[in-house]
Chains A and B, each alone.
Chain A
């Protein structure tokens, strides 16, 4: 798993949802562990697309349950 992608994603989550970047770790669920709602997930996805140069369609976004899911998707699609 890419540490750069993880740390970059953690920065976005902190900016959008106020979760401390250190708490954004691979096994955490966006909804259940980090208390991020669907509206914030859309913001996070848009910022991640810009930051990492990937496309995250809505049907893919729905599958990204954990931070690790998102890091893996970004790493393999950028």
Chain B
């Protein structure tokens, strides 16, 4: 870029249905493990929900956080705090490494504190006003995950919370990129958090006919790009990366995972939930990420896809990839293993993309047995593929027609 500013990644943190941190998540992904399992909540039977499976956290955040801290946080805030602490430590930051007025926190969520909202509504209904927690609002507000992490780190350059459904986590990272490029911050803790595996989101997504009902084979339910895919699997978790101005990171001797070279965002202007089947908006976001990163499409070796395992969405994305990049990139869809982490998905999958570049390996798309003939691109299946990457793109799209593409390059 003409400004001379570059954005690099210096820290990673995550808690996911595949592991309680980044390393265990990455290892499980490469090992072909699934995060999907039956839900044991009593409301599944109570409401006779058609979906009885979900992609649930391996490590419950209440096992990691002190008891009193956990009871003051909604589950979506708990996972954000857990992943942020990992990322902050991984980046080698402490109280003195950055001026707090040059530090920002940007953490998105798709749904926010749904579990708190519903729990407190039950208390109001059944036991009256006195039993409603005075912490209800700070627990249910969708800026809660960002606010709690921002407070803990005393970030004062800005604390923000983009809400764009399943693009939220990626949008937070894009926002962080912009803050560093514009000179507003030197360091940004950015990502997404989601934890809404409870009755009404499951019922609502079911009624929209967007979720897999492969209840008898949970581990095979999420199968992006496969001919037998029948919808996404709801997941929970958080992914956080520490973004940093390169000069700032190098001056403090930080390790650098990779570079966030460019970002692109767009909106479909097409339908509230369905993607444009021509992939026009999505391809514009991808193309913009390459332009802003000064990357030639021919150099993009890999796309980490948003593909959620829905019949319509997966194919539309490949149309967009073909338009913006061509038919040469190697694709993968981590949701086959992770399920769909909604507002955390883009952040966790951005981390996977960064690790793919660092290690030169693209994870397989779990459960991809028969590639949908409408895809006709090279999708990694069966086992991970070794491939040296000069540039890779991570796609994220959300209900509402939000499109975000992040373009990463080696350190």
A interface residues, Cβ below 8 angstroms from B: 16-18, 38-40, 42-43, 46, 49
Contacts and interface: CB of A to CB of B under 8 A. Distances in A.
13 contacts: A16-B68, A17-B68, A18-B66, A18-B68, A18-B69, A39-B134, A39-B138, A40-B134, A42-B134, A43-B133, A43-B134, A43-B135, A46-B131
B67 interface: yes
B130 interface: yes
A31 B138 CA distance: 20
Interface of B: 66-69, 130-131, 133-135, 138
Contacts of A40: 134
Contacts of B67: 18
Q: Sort A-B residue pairs by CB-CB distance and give the 3 closest, nearest first.
A: A18-B68, A42-B134, A39-B134
A11 to B, nearest CB: 14
A59 to B, nearest CB: 16
Contacts of A46: 130-131
Contacts of A49: 130
B116 to A, nearest CB: 14
Contacts of B135: 39, 43
A38 B69 CA distance: 16
A68 to B, nearest CB: 23
Contacts of B133: 43
Nearest to B67: A18
A21 B130 CA distance: 24
A12 to B, nearest CB: 12
Contacts of B131: 46
A41 B138 CA distance: 16
A64 B212 CA distance: 55
Contacts of B138: 39
A53 to B, nearest CB: 14
Contacts of A39: 134-135, 138
A33 to B, nearest CB: 17
A19 to B, nearest CB: 9
Contacts of A16: 68
A50 to B, nearest CB: 9
B260 to A, nearest CB: 37
A18 B70 CA distance: 11
Nearest to A41: B134
Contacts of B134: 38-40, 42-43
Nearest to B136: A39
A20 to B, nearest CB: 11
A16 B71 CA distance: 8
Nearest to A17: B68
A16 B27 CA distance: 38
Given A16-B68, A18-B66, A39-B138, 5 more contacts: A17-B68, A39-B134, A43-B133, A43-B134, A46-B131
